[in-house]
Amino acid sequence: MAFFLRERVCQSLSRLPAPRAFSTTARRLLMATAGFTSIELTVREAVAQIVRRRLKRLSPSSINSNGRQCTRFPNSYWRERDQTEQDPADFHAAIASGGWLGIALPESLGGAGLGISEATMMMQTISESGAGMAGAQALHANVYATQPLAVFGTHAQRERVLPSVVAGQTRVCFGVTEPDAGLDTLRLTTAATRQSDGSFRITGRKVWITCAQVADYMMLLARTSPDGLSLFCIDLDRSHPGLQVRRIKKMGGRAVDANEVVFDDYPAPADSIVGEEGKGFQVVLHGMNAERCLIAGEALGLGYAALARTAEYARDRNVFQRPIGMNQGIAHPLAEAYMRLEAAKLATYHAARLYDSSRADLAIRQGDIGVACNTAKYLAAEAAFTACERAVLTHGGMGYAVEYDVERYFRECLVPRIAPVSKEMILNYIGEKVLGLPRSY
Protein backbone atom coordinates (compact mmCIF):
# COMPACT_ATOMS: atom_id res chain seq x y z
CA MET A 1 0.00 0.00 0.00
CA ALA A 2 1.98 2.94 -1.28
CA PHE A 3 1.53 6.34 0.34
CA PHE A 4 3.61 8.92 -1.43
CA LEU A 5 3.37 11.11 1.62
CA ARG A 6 6.23 13.44 0.73
CA GLU A 7 4.35 14.65 -2.32
CA ARG A 8 1.13 14.97 -0.32
CA VAL A 9 2.91 16.96 2.41
CA CYS A 10 4.50 19.31 -0.10
CA GLN A 11 1.20 19.87 -1.89
CA SER A 12 -0.50 20.68 1.39
CA LEU A 13 1.88 23.57 2.08
CA SER A 14 -0.20 25.92 -0.02
CA ARG A 15 -3.46 24.74 1.56
CA LEU A 16 -2.64 24.89 5.24
CA PRO A 17 -2.73 28.13 7.22
CA ALA A 18 0.21 29.13 9.34
CA PRO A 19 0.86 26.69 12.20
CA ARG A 20 -1.16 27.56 15.30
CA ALA A 21 -1.70 26.34 18.82
CA PHE A 22 -3.12 22.85 18.77
CA SER A 23 -2.46 21.32 22.16
CA THR A 24 -5.61 20.07 23.84
CA THR A 25 -4.39 21.74 27.03
CA ALA A 26 -3.21 25.12 25.78
CA ARG A 27 -4.80 28.37 24.63
CA ARG A 28 -1.62 29.65 22.98
CA LEU A 29 1.45 28.32 21.25
CA LEU A 30 4.43 27.94 23.56
CA MET A 31 7.19 26.47 21.42
CA ALA A 32 8.95 28.99 19.19
CA THR A 33 8.78 27.71 15.59
CA ALA A 34 11.37 30.01 14.01
CA GLY A 35 14.13 28.00 12.37
CA PHE A 36 12.07 24.98 11.41
CA THR A 37 11.71 24.05 7.75
CA SER A 38 8.40 24.41 5.96
CA ILE A 39 8.17 20.62 5.70
CA GLU A 40 8.72 20.16 9.45
CA LEU A 41 6.05 22.74 10.25
CA THR A 42 3.63 21.18 7.78
CA VAL A 43 4.14 17.79 9.41
CA ARG A 44 3.40 19.44 12.75
CA GLU A 45 0.18 21.02 11.51
CA ALA A 46 -1.01 17.97 9.57
CA VAL A 47 -0.49 15.58 12.48
CA ALA A 48 -2.12 18.09 14.82
CA GLN A 49 -5.21 18.03 12.60
CA ILE A 50 -5.49 14.29 13.21
CA VAL A 51 -5.34 14.55 16.98
CA ARG A 52 -7.46 17.70 17.02
CA ARG A 53 -9.48 18.33 13.88
CA ARG A 54 -10.16 21.81 12.60
CA LEU A 55 -13.83 22.78 12.70
CA LYS A 56 -14.17 23.02 8.93
CA ARG A 57 -12.93 19.45 8.52
CA LEU A 58 -15.10 17.93 11.21
CA SER A 59 -18.09 15.74 10.48
CA PRO A 60 -21.42 16.86 11.99
CA SER A 61 -21.07 14.18 14.65
CA SER A 62 -17.85 15.86 15.81
CA ILE A 63 -19.54 19.18 16.58
CA ASN A 64 -21.42 19.72 19.82
CA SER A 65 -24.81 21.33 20.27
CA ASN A 66 -23.24 24.78 20.50
CA GLY A 67 -21.56 24.36 17.12
CA ARG A 68 -18.11 24.22 18.68
CA GLN A 69 -15.28 21.89 17.82
CA CYS A 70 -15.04 18.59 19.68
CA THR A 71 -11.48 17.37 20.03
CA ARG A 72 -11.08 13.86 18.68
CA PHE A 73 -8.45 12.71 21.17
CA PRO A 74 -8.73 15.09 24.14
CA ASN A 75 -7.00 14.73 27.47
CA SER A 76 -10.06 12.88 28.74
CA TYR A 77 -9.43 10.19 26.12
CA TRP A 78 -5.88 9.61 27.39
CA ARG A 79 -6.97 9.94 31.01
CA GLU A 80 -9.47 7.14 30.48
CA ARG A 81 -6.96 4.93 28.64
CA ASP A 82 -4.48 5.48 31.45
CA GLN A 83 -7.01 4.47 34.10
CA THR A 84 -8.38 1.45 32.24
CA GLU A 85 -5.03 0.40 30.71
CA GLN A 86 -6.79 0.10 27.37
CA ASP A 87 -4.75 0.14 24.16
CA PRO A 88 -5.45 3.24 22.02
CA ALA A 89 -6.18 1.20 18.91
CA ASP A 90 -8.42 3.86 17.35
CA PHE A 91 -5.68 6.47 17.81
CA HIS A 92 -3.15 4.15 16.15
CA ALA A 93 -5.58 3.64 13.26
CA ALA A 94 -6.14 7.40 12.89
CA ILE A 95 -2.41 8.08 12.60
CA ALA A 96 -1.94 5.19 10.20
CA SER A 97 -4.84 6.32 8.01
CA GLY A 98 -2.73 9.10 6.54
CA GLY A 99 0.35 6.95 6.04
CA TRP A 100 2.20 8.65 8.88
CA LEU A 101 3.67 5.43 10.27
CA GLY A 102 5.84 5.33 7.17
CA ILE A 103 7.14 8.87 7.57
CA ALA A 104 10.81 7.83 7.68
CA LEU A 105 10.58 4.87 5.30
CA PRO A 106 11.61 5.15 1.63
CA GLU A 107 8.87 5.84 -0.91
CA SER A 108 9.81 2.59 -2.64
CA LEU A 109 8.62 0.77 0.49
CA GLY A 110 5.36 2.67 0.78
CA GLY A 111 6.71 5.39 3.05
CA ALA A 112 7.09 9.14 2.85
CA GLY A 113 10.81 9.27 2.22
CA LEU A 114 11.19 11.98 4.84
CA GLY A 115 13.83 12.10 7.55
CA ILE A 116 14.27 11.55 11.25
CA SER A 117 13.84 15.30 11.83
CA GLU A 118 10.31 15.13 10.42
CA ALA A 119 9.62 11.90 12.34
CA THR A 120 10.82 13.60 15.51
CA MET A 121 8.46 16.49 14.85
CA MET A 122 5.60 14.03 14.37
CA MET A 123 6.31 12.29 17.67
CA GLN A 124 6.67 15.61 19.50
CA THR A 125 3.37 16.82 18.08
CA ILE A 126 1.59 13.67 19.24
CA SER A 127 3.03 13.88 22.74
CA GLU A 128 2.37 17.62 22.94
CA SER A 129 -1.29 17.18 21.97
CA GLY A 130 -1.97 15.73 25.41
CA ALA A 131 -1.33 12.13 24.38
CA GLY A 132 1.97 12.24 26.25
CA MET A 133 4.41 9.36 26.25
CA ALA A 134 1.57 6.83 26.07
CA GLY A 135 0.35 8.15 22.72
CA ALA A 136 3.88 8.36 21.37
CA GLN A 137 4.85 4.90 22.59
CA ALA A 138 1.79 3.39 20.91
CA LEU A 139 3.49 4.32 17.62
CA HIS A 140 7.16 4.51 18.53
CA ALA A 141 8.24 0.97 17.64
CA ASN A 142 6.34 1.06 14.36
CA VAL A 143 8.39 4.10 13.33
CA TYR A 144 11.74 3.07 14.82
CA ALA A 145 11.85 -0.74 14.77
CA THR A 146 11.10 -0.86 11.06
CA GLN A 147 14.27 1.08 10.20
CA PRO A 148 16.69 -1.92 10.43
CA LEU A 149 14.29 -3.96 8.32
CA ALA A 150 14.10 -1.23 5.69
CA VAL A 151 17.90 -0.95 5.48
CA PHE A 152 19.09 -4.53 5.98
CA GLY A 153 16.06 -6.71 5.22
CA THR A 154 15.57 -8.72 2.07
CA HIS A 155 13.03 -7.69 -0.53
CA ALA A 156 10.72 -10.50 0.62
CA GLN A 157 11.00 -9.46 4.28
CA ARG A 158 10.26 -5.84 3.52
CA GLU A 159 7.31 -6.66 1.30
CA ARG A 160 5.87 -9.04 3.89
CA VAL A 161 5.98 -6.62 6.80
CA LEU A 162 6.35 -2.95 5.92
CA PRO A 163 3.28 -2.19 3.76
CA SER A 164 0.90 -3.63 6.36
CA VAL A 165 2.68 -1.74 9.17
CA VAL A 166 2.44 1.56 7.30
CA ALA A 167 -1.24 0.89 6.61
CA GLY A 168 -1.88 0.22 10.29
CA GLN A 169 -3.01 -3.35 9.62
CA THR A 170 -0.19 -4.87 11.67
CA ARG A 171 2.07 -3.66 14.49
CA VAL A 172 5.68 -4.24 15.49
CA CYS A 173 7.50 -4.48 18.81
CA PHE A 174 11.22 -4.52 19.55
CA GLY A 175 12.83 -7.24 21.69
CA VAL A 176 16.32 -6.43 22.97
CA THR A 177 16.37 -5.84 26.74
CA GLU A 178 16.75 -8.82 29.07
CA PRO A 179 16.29 -8.98 32.86
CA ASP A 180 19.89 -10.03 33.53
CA ALA A 181 21.62 -7.91 30.89
CA GLY A 182 19.96 -4.49 30.80
CA LEU A 183 22.17 -2.11 28.81
CA ASP A 184 24.96 -4.71 28.59
CA THR A 185 23.59 -5.82 25.24
CA LEU A 186 26.59 -7.95 24.24
CA ARG A 187 25.79 -10.27 27.17
CA LEU A 188 22.29 -11.17 26.02
CA THR A 189 21.50 -14.84 26.60
CA THR A 190 18.31 -15.40 24.60
CA ALA A 191 19.46 -18.05 22.13
CA ALA A 192 18.33 -18.91 18.62
CA THR A 193 19.55 -22.42 17.84
CA ARG A 194 19.70 -23.53 14.23
CA GLN A 195 17.91 -26.77 13.36
CA SER A 196 18.80 -29.34 10.73
CA ASP A 197 16.31 -27.84 8.26
CA GLY A 198 17.86 -24.36 8.64
CA SER A 199 15.14 -22.96 10.87
CA PHE A 200 15.71 -21.74 14.44
CA ARG A 201 14.35 -22.47 17.90
CA ILE A 202 14.38 -19.54 20.32
CA THR A 203 14.71 -19.84 24.09
CA GLY A 204 15.11 -17.00 26.57
CA ARG A 205 13.44 -13.96 28.14
CA LYS A 206 12.96 -10.37 27.09
CA VAL A 207 11.63 -7.65 29.36
CA TRP A 208 10.01 -4.22 29.01
CA ILE A 209 8.75 -5.05 25.54
CA THR A 210 6.26 -2.34 24.57
CA CYS A 211 3.08 -3.38 22.73
CA ALA A 212 3.86 -7.11 22.80
CA GLN A 213 0.21 -7.73 23.70
CA VAL A 214 -0.99 -6.26 20.40
CA ALA A 215 2.01 -6.60 18.05
CA ASP A 216 2.02 -9.00 15.11
CA TYR A 217 5.81 -8.99 14.62
CA MET A 218 8.83 -8.69 16.85
CA MET A 219 12.26 -7.46 15.86
CA LEU A 220 14.25 -9.79 18.13
CA LEU A 221 17.95 -9.70 19.00
CA ALA A 222 19.14 -13.18 19.95
CA ARG A 223 22.41 -15.09 20.25
CA THR A 224 23.16 -17.41 17.31
CA SER A 225 26.75 -18.24 18.33
CA PRO A 226 28.92 -17.73 21.42
CA ASP A 227 30.29 -14.53 19.91
CA GLY A 228 27.49 -13.46 17.62
CA LEU A 229 24.05 -11.86 17.92
CA SER A 230 21.54 -11.86 15.09
CA LEU A 231 18.46 -9.76 14.46
CA PHE A 232 15.26 -11.63 13.62
CA CYS A 233 11.88 -10.50 12.35
CA ILE A 234 9.47 -13.09 13.73
CA ASP A 235 5.73 -13.56 13.88
CA LEU A 236 4.26 -13.34 17.38
CA ASP A 237 1.88 -16.25 17.76
CA ARG A 238 0.58 -15.81 21.29
CA SER A 239 -1.37 -19.07 21.03
CA HIS A 240 1.85 -21.07 20.63
CA PRO A 241 2.86 -22.94 23.82
CA GLY A 242 6.45 -21.80 23.37
CA LEU A 243 5.55 -18.12 23.78
CA GLN A 244 4.32 -16.38 26.92
CA VAL A 245 3.59 -12.65 27.08
CA ARG A 246 3.14 -11.32 30.61
CA ARG A 247 2.01 -7.75 31.15
CA ILE A 248 4.03 -5.64 33.60
CA LYS A 249 2.04 -3.28 35.81
CA LYS A 250 3.74 0.11 35.72
CA MET A 251 3.66 3.65 37.02
CA GLY A 252 2.90 5.63 33.87
CA GLY A 253 1.94 5.24 30.23
CA ARG A 254 -0.55 2.60 31.25
CA ALA A 255 -2.51 2.82 28.01
CA VAL A 256 0.40 1.07 26.31
CA ASP A 257 1.37 -2.38 27.53
CA ALA A 258 4.87 -3.32 28.67
CA ASN A 259 5.73 -6.99 28.97
CA GLU A 260 8.03 -9.81 29.85
CA VAL A 261 8.19 -12.16 26.86
CA VAL A 262 9.33 -15.73 27.47
CA PHE A 263 10.44 -17.99 24.61
CA ASP A 264 10.67 -21.73 25.12
CA ASP A 265 11.78 -23.57 21.98
CA TYR A 266 9.78 -21.09 19.91
CA PRO A 267 10.15 -21.69 16.14
CA ALA A 268 11.47 -19.11 13.69
CA PRO A 269 11.98 -19.79 9.97
CA ALA A 270 15.43 -19.65 8.38
CA ASP A 271 14.55 -16.55 6.39
CA SER A 272 13.63 -14.51 9.48
CA ILE A 273 17.19 -13.21 10.04
CA VAL A 274 17.54 -9.54 9.12
CA GLY A 275 20.95 -8.72 7.67
CA GLU A 276 23.97 -10.93 8.13
CA GLU A 277 23.89 -13.69 10.72
CA GLY A 278 26.05 -12.82 13.71
CA LYS A 279 25.99 -9.09 12.88
CA GLY A 280 22.74 -8.24 14.62
CA PHE A 281 24.27 -5.87 17.14
CA GLN A 282 25.69 -3.73 14.32
CA VAL A 283 22.28 -3.79 12.60
CA VAL A 284 20.56 -2.60 15.78
CA LEU A 285 23.17 0.11 16.33
CA HIS A 286 22.20 1.59 12.98
CA GLY A 287 18.88 2.72 14.40
CA MET A 288 19.82 3.63 17.97
CA ASN A 289 20.76 7.23 17.20
CA ALA A 290 17.47 7.70 15.38
CA GLU A 291 15.59 6.39 18.40
CA ARG A 292 17.40 8.85 20.66
CA CYS A 293 15.98 11.68 18.52
CA LEU A 294 12.45 10.28 18.60
CA ILE A 295 12.52 9.87 22.38
CA ALA A 296 13.87 13.41 22.73
CA GLY A 297 11.01 14.75 20.63
CA GLU A 298 8.46 12.84 22.70
CA ALA A 299 9.95 14.23 25.91
CA LEU A 300 9.82 17.77 24.52
CA GLY A 301 6.16 17.36 23.62
CA LEU A 302 5.35 16.17 27.11
CA GLY A 303 7.21 19.08 28.67
CA TYR A 304 5.50 21.68 26.48
CA ALA A 305 2.08 20.13 27.20
CA ALA A 306 2.68 20.26 30.95
CA LEU A 307 3.96 23.84 30.79
CA ALA A 308 1.07 25.04 28.62
CA ARG A 309 -1.45 23.47 30.95
CA THR A 310 0.27 25.04 33.94
CA ALA A 311 0.59 28.52 32.45
CA GLU A 312 -3.14 28.48 31.80
CA TYR A 313 -3.81 27.40 35.37
CA ALA A 314 -1.48 30.07 36.78
CA ARG A 315 -3.32 32.76 34.80
CA ASP A 316 -6.76 31.61 35.94
CA ARG A 317 -6.17 30.49 39.53
CA ASN A 318 -6.73 33.32 42.03
CA VAL A 319 -5.40 33.23 45.59
CA PHE A 320 -5.31 36.31 47.86
CA GLN A 321 -7.33 38.20 45.24
CA ARG A 322 -4.77 37.85 42.44
CA PRO A 323 -3.67 35.26 39.84
CA ILE A 324 -0.96 33.01 41.23
CA GLY A 325 1.03 33.59 38.03
CA MET A 326 1.60 37.15 39.23
CA ASN A 327 3.89 35.77 41.93
CA GLN A 328 7.53 35.48 40.89
CA GLY A 329 7.77 32.32 42.97
CA ILE A 330 5.43 30.79 40.38
CA ALA A 331 6.46 32.69 37.25
CA HIS A 332 10.23 32.30 37.49
CA PRO A 333 10.36 28.47 37.79
CA LEU A 334 7.96 28.17 34.85
CA ALA A 335 9.95 30.64 32.76
CA GLU A 336 13.12 28.70 33.49
CA ALA A 337 11.39 25.44 32.53
CA TYR A 338 10.41 27.02 29.21
CA MET A 339 13.99 28.05 28.47
CA ARG A 340 15.22 24.56 29.28
CA LEU A 341 12.72 23.11 26.82
CA GLU A 342 13.75 25.60 24.13
CA ALA A 343 17.43 24.77 24.60
CA ALA A 344 16.72 21.04 24.46
CA LYS A 345 14.62 21.62 21.34
CA LEU A 346 17.60 23.18 19.56
CA ALA A 347 19.82 20.24 20.55
CA THR A 348 17.19 17.72 19.46
CA TYR A 349 16.60 19.06 15.97
CA HIS A 350 20.31 19.69 15.45
CA ALA A 351 20.91 16.01 16.18
CA ALA A 352 18.05 14.84 13.95
CA ARG A 353 19.19 16.98 11.02
CA LEU A 354 22.78 15.83 11.49
CA TYR A 355 21.56 12.24 11.36
CA ASP A 356 19.60 12.93 8.16
CA SER A 357 22.47 14.82 6.52
CA SER A 358 24.88 11.97 7.16
CA ARG A 359 23.09 9.85 4.58
CA ALA A 360 24.43 12.05 1.81
CA ASP A 361 27.42 13.71 3.48
CA LEU A 362 30.09 11.12 4.25
CA ALA A 363 32.19 13.78 5.99
CA ILE A 364 29.80 13.65 8.96
CA ARG A 365 31.30 11.17 11.40
CA GLN A 366 29.13 8.61 13.13
CA GLY A 367 30.82 9.52 16.40
CA ASP A 368 29.63 13.11 16.08
CA ILE A 369 26.10 11.88 15.40
CA GLY A 370 26.22 9.67 18.47
CA VAL A 371 27.33 12.55 20.67
CA ALA A 372 24.62 14.86 19.30
CA CYS A 373 21.81 12.30 19.61
CA ASN A 374 22.75 11.21 23.12
CA THR A 375 23.10 14.83 24.20
CA ALA A 376 19.67 15.65 22.77
CA LYS A 377 18.02 12.73 24.53
CA TYR A 378 19.62 13.67 27.86
CA LEU A 379 18.73 17.36 27.67
CA ALA A 380 15.16 16.79 26.48
CA ALA A 381 14.47 14.21 29.18
CA GLU A 382 15.79 16.50 31.91
CA ALA A 383 13.91 19.52 30.55
CA ALA A 384 10.68 17.51 30.41
CA PHE A 385 11.17 16.34 34.00
CA THR A 386 11.69 19.92 35.16
CA ALA A 387 8.57 21.13 33.36
CA CYS A 388 6.39 18.27 34.61
CA GLU A 389 7.58 18.51 38.21
CA ARG A 390 6.97 22.26 38.31
CA ALA A 391 3.59 21.74 36.70
CA VAL A 392 2.51 19.53 39.60
CA LEU A 393 3.91 21.90 42.21
CA THR A 394 2.27 24.94 40.62
CA HIS A 395 -1.11 23.20 40.71
CA GLY A 396 -0.63 22.52 44.42
CA GLY A 397 -3.16 19.98 45.68
CA MET A 398 -4.85 19.91 42.29
CA GLY A 399 -1.58 18.72 40.80
CA TYR A 400 -2.21 15.47 42.63
CA ALA A 401 -5.67 15.12 41.08
CA VAL A 402 -6.21 12.94 38.01
CA GLU A 403 -8.56 15.41 36.32
CA TYR A 404 -5.85 18.06 35.90
CA ASP A 405 -3.61 15.71 33.87
CA VAL A 406 -0.30 17.04 35.16
CA GLU A 407 -0.02 14.10 37.55
CA ARG A 408 -0.19 11.80 34.49
CA TYR A 409 2.44 13.86 32.71
CA PHE A 410 4.70 13.65 35.77
CA ARG A 411 4.39 9.87 35.94
CA GLU A 412 5.22 9.62 32.25
CA CYS A 413 8.16 12.04 32.27
CA LEU A 414 10.30 9.45 34.03
CA VAL A 415 10.26 7.23 30.93
CA PRO A 416 12.64 9.28 28.75
CA ARG A 417 15.04 9.63 31.69
CA ILE A 418 15.33 5.83 31.85
CA ALA A 419 14.75 4.49 28.35
CA PRO A 420 16.17 3.47 25.98
CA VAL A 421 19.37 4.37 27.85
CA SER A 422 19.73 5.86 31.32
CA LYS A 423 21.04 9.36 31.85
CA GLU A 424 24.02 7.94 33.76
CA MET A 425 25.08 5.85 30.77
CA ILE A 426 24.83 8.92 28.53
CA LEU A 427 27.10 10.80 30.92
CA ASN A 428 29.52 7.85 30.77
CA TYR A 429 29.39 8.00 26.97
CA ILE A 430 30.09 11.74 26.79
CA GLY A 431 32.86 11.45 29.38
CA GLU A 432 34.59 8.75 27.38
CA LYS A 433 33.93 9.82 23.78
CA VAL A 434 34.18 13.60 24.14
CA LEU A 435 36.37 14.24 27.18
CA GLY A 436 38.64 11.27 26.69
CA LEU A 437 38.13 10.02 30.24
CA PRO A 438 38.78 6.37 31.14
CA ARG A 439 35.83 4.06 30.63
CA SER A 440 34.03 3.53 33.94
CA TYR A 441 32.07 0.36 33.21
37-90 confidence digits (pLDDT tens): 999 999 999 999 998 743 233 343 344 444 444 568 999 999 999 999 999 999
pLDDT digits 0-9 by tens, 92-111 = 999 999 889 999 999 988 89
Q: 306 and 387 in contact (C-beta within 8 Å)? A: yes
Give the separation between CA 92 and CA 216, rounded to whole angstroms.
14
Give the separation between CA 361 and CA 365, rounded to whole angstroms.
9
Quick one: pLDDT band at residue 8, thresholds 50, 70, 90? low
Q: What is the pLDDT of residue 71?
A: 66
What mean pLDDT is predicted for residues 249-268? 98
Q: What is the percentage of the chain residues whose pLDDT exceeds 70?
A: 89
Give the separation between CA 314 and CA 391, rounded to whole angstroms.
10
Q: What is the percentage of the chain residues whose pLDDT exceeds 90?
A: 84
Secondary structure of residue 259 in the 3-state scheme:
strand
Dump the DSSP string for 197-209. TS-EEEEEEEEEE
Angle of helix 38-51 relative to helix 89-97, nearest 10 degrees, comes to 140
Specify the range with the lowest mean pLDDT, choosing from 70-74, 229-233, 367-371: 70-74
pLDDT over threshold 90, residue 120: yes
pLDDT over threshold 90, residue 219: yes
- Residue 115 CA to its chain's centroid (Å): 15
Beta bridge partners, 246, equal 260
Give the separation between CA 209 and CA 362, rounded to whole angstroms.
34
pLDDT digits 0-9 by tens, 11-20 = 544 455 544 4
Nearest to 54 by CA among 18, 85, 81, 89: 18
What mean pLDDT is predicted for residues 253-279? 98
Q: What is the pLDDT of residue 13?
A: 40
Mean pLDDT of the chain: 91
Quick one: pLDDT band at residue 347, thresholds 50, 70, 90? very high
Angstrom CA distances, 31 to 119, 341, 378, 424, stand at: 17, 8, 19, 28
Q: What are the structural domains, with CATH classification, of the chain?
A: 5-152 (1.10.540), 170-280 (2.40.110.10), 284-433 (1.20.140.10)
Quick one: pLDDT band at residue 320, thresholds 50, 70, 90? very high
pLDDT over threshold 50, residue 139: yes
Sign of CA dihedral 95, 100, 102, 107: positive
Q: 387 and 337 in contact (C-beta within 8 Å)? A: yes
Length of the chain: 441
pLDDT over threshold 80, residue 7: no
H or E stretch including 113? none
Q: 324 and 394 in contact (C-beta within 8 Å)? A: yes
